Amino acid sequence: MLELDAQLRPVRAGAFAVLAVALVASGPWLGWWTMVPLGLSVVVFRVADRQLQRLRRPEYALLAAWVVSELIMAASVALSGGPQIPTTAWLAIPVLTLGARFSNRGIVLGVAVAAGLLVAVELGVNAHAVVQNPPLLVAPMALIVCVAMFQTVLMRSEIRLRGEILIDSLTGMLNRRALAGRVAELEQQSQLTREPVSVIVGDIDHFKQFNDLYGHAAGDALLTNLSYQLRKTLRAFDLCYRTGGEEFVILLPGAELAQAAEIAEQLRRAAAAVVSAGRQVTMSFGVAGAGRGDVFRYSTVFREADTALYRAKDGGRDRVELAAVEPAAARRLRVASP
C-alpha cells in the first residue's frame, strides 16, 4: 500500500495540474474562486504525506486525506451549481486511487463516501432538477461505481504480482529484492533530507541445531511464527526483511541509534516469547545507523550492524549490541574528506 501510494504521488500532482488547467479555462463560467478548493486539496495531501512516517497506522492518514479531498471537491461542486454543472463527475476521480491504497473495506467505504456526497450535493443544491432529470444523478453515480470496479481489479492484480516478486512465500516477510528497492529510496532521500536512518540485523540463535533436532518442517513453523511476532512489534514504516535462512534486516527511517536500540530490545523480547517444539527461541541483534546530518549509505551501516551482531553472538546470544558510535568531530571530518 505504501509503495503504491508513493508511486501515485507524481500522478496525483499531474492530475492536480490537469484540474487546475481545466478550472482556469472554465474560470469565466464557473468563477476563479474554484481554484481555492483545489489548492486546499493539494495542502491536505502534502500534510498527510509528511505525517505518514510518524504514524503507526499510516493508512488512517491516507484515508483521512482522501475523505477531506472528496469533501472539498463536493463543496466546490455544490457552490458552483450542483447537478447542473459538468464538474459533478469529478467526484469519481479520487475513486481511481482507492484500490492502490486500501483494503476491500476501505474501497467500499470510499465508494460509499463518494456516492453519499454526490447524493447530498445534487439533492441538497437542486433536488427539483434531479427529480425532473434523474440522469443528472444516475450517470455520475454509475461512473463512480464502475470506476471503482474496474480500477480495483487492476490494482489487486498489480499488488498480487508485486507480492509474488517482493514477499518471501514462507514467512510473508519482504525479501532481498524488496530490500534493495527500499534501500535505494532511502539513500536518495538521505541525500536531500539528512534525516537519521538506522538498521537492525537479527539472527535466530542456534537455528541450525533446531533444524537438525526437530526437522525442517518445525524450522519452517518457527520462522513463520517468529516473523509474525517481529512484524507485530514493528511500526508500519519499520520494515522487516528476511535476507537469509534465519537472518532478518529491519530498516528504521527517522530513527536515531538510541531509538533503534530500544526497538531492537522490543524485538528481542518478542522473539523470546516464542515457543516452538516446546523450546524457547531467542534472537541476537546488531544495531547501527546514520545520524541526523549524515548521508545514509546502506553498505556501511549494514556492515557496522553485522559486526555488532557478531559481538552479540560472541557475548552469549539473546542480546542487543550497538555499533561503536563515531565521535561527531571525526564523523564530520570523514564526511568532508574526498
Is the pLDDT confidence value at 178 over 80? yes
Matching residue, cell 499510516: 58
Cα separation, 102 vs 124, in Å, equals 29
- Both 20 and 96 in one domain: the answer is yes
- Both 11 and 158 in one domain: the answer is yes
- Both 46 and 151 in one domain: the answer is yes
Contact between residue 89 and residue 145 where contact means Cβ atoms under 8 Å apart: no
What tens digit of pLDDT does each residue of 21-79 get? 887 888 788 777 778 887 888 888 777 777 665 666 677 777 888 888 888 888 888 87
Sheet strands (E) in 112-229:
197-204
What tens digit of pLDDT does each residue of 203-248 get? 999 999 999 899 989 999 999 999 999 998 987 778 899 998 899 9
Q: What is the pLDDT of residue 36?
A: 82
Domain count, the chain: 2
> What's the CATH code of the domain at 260?
3.30.70.270
- Both 154 and 253 in one domain: the answer is no
Q: Hey, what's the cell of 323?
A: 555499533
Contact between residue 285 and residue 250 where contact means Cβ atoms under 8 Å apart: no
List C-alpha distances in Å: 301 to 19, 98, 280: 44, 36, 30
Nearest to 211 by CA among 166, 246, 173: 246
Q: What is the pLDDT of residue 333?
A: 33
How many Cα neighbours within 13 Å face the side chain of 119?
A: 6
Helix%, strand%, coil% for the chain, nearest 5: 70, 10, 20
Q: Hey, what's the cell of 42?
A: 493539494
Nearest to 207 by CA among 218, 215, 219: 219
Cα separation, 239 vs 317, in Å, equals 23
167 DSSP 8-state letter: B
Q: Which domain holds residue 24?
A: 2-166
92 DSSP 8-state letter: G
Q: Which residue has the higher pLDDT, 101 or 182?
A: 182
Domain boundary among 126, 146, 166: 166
**pLDDT category, 3, cuts 50, 70, 90?**
low
- Both 287 and 331 in one domain: the answer is yes
Would 154 be classed as within a structural domain? yes
Would 188 be classed as within a structural domain? yes
Domain boundary among 132, 166, 200: 166
Would 231 be classed as within a structural domain? yes
Q: Which residue has the higher pLDDT, 97 or 154?
A: 97
Would 171 be classed as within a structural domain? no
- Both 21 and 159 in one domain: the answer is yes
**pLDDT category, 181, cuts 50, 70, 90?**
confident
Matching residue, cell 478550472: 23
The helix/strand/coil state of 202 is: strand
Would 18 be classed as within a structural domain? yes
Is the pLDDT confidence value at 330 over 50? no
- Both 26 and 83 in one domain: the answer is yes
Mean pLDDT over the full length of the chain? 84
Of 188-192, 283-287, 319-323, where does mean pLDDT reach its minimum? 188-192
- Both 67 and 159 in one domain: the answer is yes
**pLDDT category, 150, cuts 50, 70, 90?**
confident
Would 311 be classed as within a structural domain? yes
Is the pLDDT confidence value at 334 over 60? no
291 DSSP 8-state letter: -
- Stated as kind and residue range, the H or E segment containing 283 is strand 283-290
Would 227 be classed as within a structural domain? yes
Cα separation, 210 vs 233, in Å, equals 24
- Cβ neighbors of 105 (< 8 A, separation 6 or more) are none
Q: Which residue has the higher pLDDT, 148 or 261?
A: 261
- Both 135 and 181 in one domain: the answer is no
Mean pLDDT of 323-335: 48
Mean pLDDT of 169-175: 87
What tens digit of pLDDT does each residue of 244-291 get? 889 999 999 989 999 999 999 999 999 999 988 888 889 999 999 999
Phi-psi region of 149 (alpha: psi -120 to 50; beta: other; left: phi over 0): alpha
Contact between residue 99 and residue 92 where contact means Cβ atoms under 8 Å apart: no
- Both 127 and 154 in one domain: the answer is yes
Q: What is the pLDDT of residue 123?
A: 92
- Both 156 and 180 in one domain: the answer is no
User: Bridge-partner residues for 286, per DSSP?
Assistant: 201, 321
Nearest to 202 by CA among 171, 177, 169: 171
Domain boundary among 107, 138, 166: 166
Q: Which residues belong to the active site?
A: 246
- Both 8 and 67 in one domain: the answer is yes
Q: What is the pLDDT of residue 338?
A: 37
Would 155 be classed as within a structural domain? yes
